[in-house]
């Protein structure tokens, strides 16, 4: 059994520093199986874009600038996330014995662990099924709809996650909001679901 390394940053960090730490942990993995679990927070509200998202389509950069909201790009994929009053996790690993050999298997195993952790808090969570066909190409924010194997309670997404994988090495980010500010999210993203 492998021993995991646990990093807990109690002091909130700037978004760019959070992303730099995660990218460094990912690139520093050696060939020996290893897993690092990191928990952290954000020094100020930050919109993070998935690796392939268009800044112009995903966020209202002028609104963010005027209101002191940072914008960063994650090395992982997924949709735009507003990090504000949340706990963020990062799992960095190359241990196929623990997580399996594919993005789908490692994502699913992390989701199963999250469900168990939430059950320990008395919450009845479950991994989501497949999203609607238009979800993948849309510009909706991350928490608008769950993707396959993301965590939901009663049909509402409560943990958003995204992963980058190269061979056996992966970095998975996850956002666990403590409070959801729908109005601020709409203004940051200029998204209207109605």
Question: Active site includes 64?
Answer: no
The conformational region for residue 106 under phi > 0 = left, psi -120 to 50 = alpha, else beta, is alpha
For 38, the enclosing helix (H) or strand (E) is: strand 35-40
The rounded distance, in Å, linking the Cα atoms of 49 and 55 is: 7
- Neighbouring-strand partners of residue 5: 36
Give the C-alpha separation, 101 to 167, whole Å: 8
- Say how far apart CA 101 and CA 53 lie, in whole Å: 26
Q: Which of the residues 47, 64, 142, 158 is marked catalytic?
A: 142
Those residues with Cβ within 8 angstroms of residue 139's Cβ, 6 or more apart along the chain or in another chain: 53, 57, 58, 79, 80, 189, 191
Residue 64's H or E segment, with its range, is helix 61-66
Active site residues: 142
């Amino acid at each position: 059994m492998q021993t995991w390394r646990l990093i807990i940053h109690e002091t909130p960090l700037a978004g760019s520093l959070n992303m730099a730490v995660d990218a460094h942990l990912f690139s520093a993995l050696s060939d020996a199986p290893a897993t690092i679990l990191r928990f952290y927070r954000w020094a100020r509200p930050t919109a993070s874009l998935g690796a392939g998202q268009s800044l112009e389509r995903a966020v209202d950069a002028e609104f963010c600038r005027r209101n002191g909201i940072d914008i960063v790009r994650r090395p992982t994929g997924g949709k735009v996330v507003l990090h504000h009053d949340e706990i963020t996790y990062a799992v960095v690993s190359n241990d196929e014995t623990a997580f399996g050999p594919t993005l789908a298997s490692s994502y699913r195993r992390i989701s199963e662990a999250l469900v168990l952790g939430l059950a320990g808090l008395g919450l009845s969570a479950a991994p989501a099924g497949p999203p609607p066909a238009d979800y993948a190409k849309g510009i909706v924010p991350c928490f608008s709809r769950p993707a396959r194997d993301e965590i939901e309670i009663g049909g509402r997404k409560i943990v958003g996650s995204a992963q980058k994988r190269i061979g056996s090495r992966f970095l998975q980010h996850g956002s666990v909001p403590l409070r959801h500010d729908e109005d601020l999210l709409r203004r940051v993203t200029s998204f209207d679901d109605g």
